[in-house]
Amino acid sequence: MEDGTAERIRPRDRILETARDMFHKHGIKGVGVDAITEAAGTNKMTLYRHFESKDDLVIECLRATACSANAMWQKFEAEHPGDKLAQLHAWVRMAADCLMMDGRGCDMANAAIELSETDHPARRVIKELKQAQRDRLVGLCGDAGIGQPELLADTLSLLLEGARVSLQSVGAEGPSAQFVRMAEGLITSFRAR
């Protein structure tokens, strides 16, 4: 943002974008508001004018992540109109691409692990957003004509979460390298039932 774009982006958006990036790279608890405001080229007064607390900023970051996920679903529909099975295969490819592009994992899952207090305000938001993603995947599996769409969606979700952990712990050559093959095998198996 050294070319002057920092000044052209609204302060709220600049803070949100900076916080999302920093939370993703360093964790929520690893980043303070001072670091966020400095990196965003603003100050704490401006941050607190737009977000009542760091917790509110975290929640808005998670909601922005959910918006990005919604854009992904819309892309599947646009690229494969009316072909739900192709959209499901596109979900698998996108999940694999995300795994290999970014070893940090899912922002919502990371936040859920980091924010271990059950009454933390972001926990409710994480649950709602993760449930919405699950519902969307269940719907896609069902619309693709797969029997037991809830079981397949949950199995694919757990496979993806496990692949993320495997990538973190043993690297790209570990079991996560087989994600596409395993996911496609699951889809084929469920379709054959």
pLDDT digits (tens, 9 = 90+) for 47-75: 999 999 999 999 999 999 989 888 999 99
Residue given tokens 């957003």 in the structure block: 129
Residues 47, 58 contacting (CB under 8 angstroms): no
Q: How many CA atoms lie within 13 A of 33 on its CB side?
A: 16
Reduced to 3 states, what is the DSSP secondary structure of residue 47? helix
- Report the pLDDT value the prediction gives residue 5, as an integer from 0 to 100: 52
pLDDT band per the 50, 70, 90 thresholds, residue 140: very high
How many other β-carbons are positioned within 10 Å of the β-carbon of residue 173? Answer: 8
From CA 15, how far away is CA 50, in angstroms rounded? 9
Asked if 190 and 95 count as a contact pair (C-beta separation under 8 A), the reply is no
Of 172 and 144, which is predicted with more confidence? 144
- In whole angstroms, what is the distance from residue 127 CA to residue 122 CA? 9
* Whole-structure pTM value: 0.85
Mean pLDDT of 158-174: 91
Q: DSSP letter for 175, please.
A: G
User: What was the pLDDT predicted at 4?
Assistant: 53
The residue-averaged pLDDT of 77-93 equals 97
- Phi, psi values for residue 21, rounded to 5°: -65, -45
